[in-house]
Amino acid sequence: MTTLLIDFLSWTCLLAGGLFCAIGALGLLRMPDFYTRMHAASVTDTVGAGLILLGLILQAGLTLVAVKLAMIGLLLFFSGPVAGHALVKAAMGRGLAPLLANPDSAGADSRTFSTEQGQALLDEEEAPSKP
């Protein structure tokens, strides 16, 4: 009975984790702006990874495998925010402007840059073969 319950919980966690991973990826594909995409990607990094690892830990029971899975979870728990912070800091440093909702930027899309350097980055992206 207990094994059945643990199995049920584990499958639920695995399926929900896979679903949240797919939702995060869908958001990352559909969101209009780099910073909103960042927000969507955090779903995959936190809830998706956490639920899948929790499901695997429930399958493993109290073994060394569960400890390794917990170590992976701890690694993702710390590396996700570090990578996210570094990404946003680098993007802001290069002058990538966030998409704002005020009327002044009504015609602007996600490819708006605040500085000339950022505009140069965009030009470089659009025409990579240009010398």
Partner 1 sequence: MFAAAILALLITVSLLLARAVLGPTVFDRLLATNTIGTCTVLLLAVIGFLTGRPEFLDLALVYGLLNLVGTVAVLKFFHDSKLGERHRKEEAT
Provide the binding-site residues for partner 1, judged by CB under 8 A.
Answer: 11, 14-15, 17-19, 21-22, 24-26, 28-29, 34, 37-38, 41, 44-45, 48-49, 52-53, 55-56, 59-60, 64-65, 68-69, 71-72, 75-76, 79-80, 82-83, 86-87, 89-91, 93-94, 96, 110-111, 117, 120-122, 125
Dihedrals phi, psi of 106, to nearest 5 degrees = -65, -40
In the complex, the smallest distance separating the C-beta of residue 2 from partner 1, rounded to whole angstroms, is: 18
Between residues 1 and 64, which has the closer beta carbon with respect to partner 1?
64
Minimum distance, C-beta of residue 42 to partner 1, in the bound complex (Å): 9
Nearer to partner 1 among residue 103 and residue 109 (C-beta): 109
C-alpha 58/C-alpha 52 separation (Å) is 10
Q: Minimum distance from CB of 120 to partner 1 (Å)?
A: 5
The residue among 50, 47, 58, 39 whose CA lies nearest residue 74 is 50
Task: Please tell me what DSSP assigns to residue 26.
Answer: H
- 95 φ, ψ (degrees, to nearest 5): 85, 30
Contacts of 53 (CB under 8 A, 6+ apart): 17, 69, 70, 72, 73, 76
Q: Rank residues 44 and 102 by Cβ distance to partner 1 and give the closer one.
A: 44
